Every structure is written in C-alpha cells, then in structure tokens.
Amino acid sequence: MRARGLIGVGLALLLGCNPTPPPPAVAPAPVPTAGEPVAPPPEPYQLDPTQHHIPDTPAAGRLDGAAFAPTATLTGTVLTFHTPAEGHTPERSLTVSLPATGSGKRVVKPDQPGGADVPEVMVSAPPAEIKPGADAGLRAYPNGYSLTLELDPPASGAVRGRLYLALPDAGKSYLAGTFTAAVQRGPDDRPGAADVPFVEGKLTLAAGLAGGVDVGYVGASDGQVVSDLISMAPPPPGVAIAARPEPMPQQQRSTGLIRTAGGEWRYEHTRLPAGRYLVTARIKNGPAAWRWVDVPADGKVDAPLTLDPAATGSVTVKVPADATAVVQLLPADDRPASSIPDNALAFALQYEGTPKAGTLKFDQVAVGTYRVVGGGRSGTVTVAAGKAAVVELK
C-alpha cells in the first residue's frame, strides 16, 4: 500500500511539473514573388449609402476618372467643392444645392426620386480632364446619386462637415472625407459686421442699357494708393449672380458686383482701409457715375450710383494744334487727396484720349466737375446733363 501511494504521488508530481505545451506555429503571410500580381486595394466607390464609411481625412476622391482633392465654400445654400485652375488644368467643381441651410445629417439614396427636399448635384469638368468613356462637360444630377452629409453649425465664418458622395457616372466619381467650408454671402445677403469698413450701394441702370458693367474704387490710406475694379456681363433675366472674387492672400479687402433674381444691381467694397475714396461705375462704351466718400475705421457707407445716358453731357477739349499728349478728365474733389496719382484717377473712369488737330471730344461724361490735364497743361470744366461743355488747356 505504501509503495502504491508513493507511485501515485510521484505520478502527480510528474504531471504537475510538465511545462505548458507551446502554441502552434503560425504560417507567415505569403510574400508575392517577383512578377506575381498584387491584389488591388478595395474599391472606395460605394453607391449604397449603407456602405458609406467617411474617413477622418480631408475630402478627396475621383471626378471623371481623375484625382479630386478640392476646397469647399458655402454660399447661401450651395455647397461647392472645387479645384482652382492651375497651368493648363482648368478649374473643376462639384456643387450640392441644399434645400435649406442648417446643421445635421442628410442621407440620399440612389433610388430616391428628385424633389424639393433632395439636393441637386452639379458637376463642371472641363473636356481636357475627361477620361475616355466618362461623361463630359457640365451635368446635373437631380437624383440617382448617393449622399451622406453631416454639417456642424456655422462658427467663425466657416462650416465644418463630413460627407460621402457617389455619382452614377461611367468614371465612378466620388468624394469622401472631412471639410471646412468658408461661408460666403449669397446674392441677397448684404455686408455685415465681418466686412467693416465697407462702401456699398444700389446701382441703378436706366432702361435699355446693355453691355458689361464695371464697378471700382481708388483711394489713399496711410499714403498708399488702394484700388480695385470688377466687371460682369449681365446675366439672363431671373438669374441671380454674386461676383465676389476671393481677396489676394496679402490683403483682406474685396470688391463685389451683385444682381439679384429680381433684376436689382448692387455693388460693395468691403474690409477697406479707412480713408477717402472715389467709387465708380460704368457701362462699357456707355455712361458712367462716380462720387467721393469718406470711409472711417468702423464705417458702413451707403453710396448709390445711377447709370443713365440722360445724366451725362459732353466735353470738348482744345489744345494747341501740334499737341499730342494724352488728355485726362479727372473727377475733381473739394478735398483733394494729393497722394492719388492722376493716372489712377483716370483709369477708374477711363476718360482719356489723344487730341487730333488740337481737339478731343468726350461723350457720355457723368455730371460733375473735372480737372482736365494733358501735356503739362490743365483746366477745369463742369458737366451738366444734356449740355456740351468746352475747355481750353493752357
């Protein structure tokens, strides 16, 4: 009995002292040999919104077969993703016209019928960027696409968001990721506190006027000339358009020309340095209008302008018969800003020309008083509506 017990104890000790068996060996992942094809990554394009997985990286994707890594803006209810023109590559854009503004999440399924509550997607892709077999040019998608869009409330002039957008096109276009859209004002939105100081005004065009519209300004601030000019062709009736080019990186000021869907024209010069300015408007080969304004540091200046042939006159300038120097009509200021060069004032209204045989005539000159200069000679003339004025330079 004792021997049998010792044998049992020894067996138990032997079993208890055995080490744990090692885990089974894991086979290494196969390494492709030279020349062996490598499996492509999963296709990121997903038309099914239930498969939309939005990456936490800046929005990027593919537009008509080409890489697309755009910046974003929100103008009114229109969310725009675009890449600027660079070299020989034209601008490409993708816009989502939202039914209404506001934060939250929106999901659009490809089988969802179009309607007032479904955003319309518009693509602008220049032919130079189109790949064989892909759709070309400008096209709209009232439905048929898929979209997952999340927008945060606006903050500090921007809206953050996340999206996954897939289009039903031959190039399997898609855009996925995060974005921060700069908020821009729509055609009906006036300048606000973020645009101070500014000059704005209603631009009244007389009936029957046609042609491109120019608005601009020239002024002086801290001894420096400050100026800008913008031109816009009249849009079709009933179409609203707001031309507000982005300011250069080294400056904050911006100039805009707006026409509402109702046909009202407005102009605006925003975030100007405080100073005195000549604001101008003109129709190409037509009448012009101008006025001087003072813009304080906190200024919100209203300066309406009217373009009307009936509010213009003519000026005939007489110089010596052999004079060939350029003659300029410069809007006179009762508080002269001597730091504004005459050439800058002349460019604002483009009242300049070369006399022939001692005479030069300007037609459709806006009502007002002008300094007339040319070839070291000068004079002053006042223009009245419907009247012909004559000035001799001495």
- CATH number of the domain encompassing residue 289: 2.60.40.10
pLDDT for position 21: 55
Average pLDDT over the chain reads 85
Tell whether 369 and 386 lie within a shared domain: yes
Tell whether 56 and 172 lie within a shared domain: yes
Query: How far is 139 from 303, CA to CA, in rounded Å?
Result: 40
Q: Is residue 198 part of a domain?
A: yes
Q: Is residue 63 part of a domain?
A: yes
pLDDT at residue 258 greater than cutoff 90:
yes
pLDDT for position 245: 75
Task: Choose one of 252, 279, 307: the last residue of a domain.
Answer: 307
| Residue 23: exposure state from Cβ atoms within 10 A (0-12, 13-18, ≥19) | exposed
Confidence of residue 91 (pLDDT cuts 50, 70, 90): confident
325-337 pLDDT tens trace? 999 999 999 776 5
Query: How far is 127 from 136, CA to CA, in rounded Å?
Result: 6
Query: How far is 67 from 175, CA to CA, in rounded Å?
Result: 10
For every residue of 284-327, DSSP letters joined together read TTS-EEEEEEEE-TT-EEE--EEE-GGGEEEEEEE--TT--S-E
pLDDT for position 15: 37
pLDDT at residue 14 greater than cutoff 50:
no
pLDDT at residue 321 greater than cutoff 90:
yes
Rg value, the chain, Cα: 34
pTM of the model: 0.65
Query: How far is 278 from 337, CA to CA, in rounded Å?
Result: 10
Lowest mean pLDDT among 29-38, 49-58, 137-146, 279-288: 29-38
pLDDT for position 229: 93
Lowest mean pLDDT among 36-45, 201-210, 258-267: 36-45
Tell whether 301 and 317 lie within a shared domain: no
The pair phi, psi for residue 10, each rounded to 5°, is: -60, -40
Quick check: 314 and 220 in contact, CB under 8 A?
no
Tell whether 303 and 323 lie within a shared domain: no
Q: Is residue 8 part of a domain?
A: no
Domain region containing 368:
311-392
173-222 pLDDT tens trace? 999 999 999 888 877 888 988 889 999 999 999 988 888 899 999 998 87
- Region 135-145: mean pLDDT is 83
59-82 burial string, b = 16+ CB within 10 Å, else e? bbbbbbbbebebebbbbbebbbbb
Tell whether 148 and 75 lie within a shared domain: yes
pLDDT for position 40: 54
- Region 303-327: mean pLDDT is 96
Tell whether 176 and 212 lie within a shared domain: no
Confidence of residue 291 (pLDDT cuts 50, 70, 90): very high
pLDDT at residue 5 greater than cutoff 70:
no
Tell whether 174 and 67 lie within a shared domain: yes
Tell whether 180 and 99 lie within a shared domain: yes
3-state secondary structure of 101: coil
Tell whether 138 and 201 lie within a shared domain: no
Q: Is residue 82 part of a domain?
A: yes
Most confident of 3-7, 40-44, 96-100, 240-244: 96-100
pLDDT for position 220: 84
Task: Choose one of 126, 152, 184: the last residue of a domain.
Answer: 184
Task: Choose one of 158, 184, 210: the last residue of a domain.
Answer: 184
- Region 17-28: mean pLDDT is 52
Residue with tokens 């508080």: 335
Confidence of residue 315 (pLDDT cuts 50, 70, 90): very high
pLDDT for position 193: 84
Quick check: 281 and 267 in contact, CB under 8 A?
yes
pLDDT for position 16: 42
pLDDT for position 38: 56
Tell whether 60 and 168 lie within a shared domain: yes
Q: Is residue 33 part of a domain?
A: no
Confidence of residue 9 (pLDDT cuts 50, 70, 90): very low
pLDDT for position 146: 98
Tell whether 197 and 220 lie within a shared domain: yes
Confidence of residue 4 (pLDDT cuts 50, 70, 90): very low
Q: Is residue 335 part of a domain?
A: yes
* Strand ranges inside 15-55, DSSP E: none
Give percent of the chain with pLDDT exceeding 70.
83
Which amino acid would we find at residue 254?
A: S
Tell whether 130 and 224 lie within a shared domain: no
Q: Is residue 259 part of a domain?
A: yes
Quick check: 270 and 262 in contact, CB under 8 A?
no
Confidence of residue 6 (pLDDT cuts 50, 70, 90): very low
Indicate the number of domains in the chain: 3
Residues with Cβ within 8 Å of 25's Cβ and at least 6 positions away in sequence, in order, are none
pLDDT for position 12: 38
Q: Is residue 35 part of a domain?
A: no
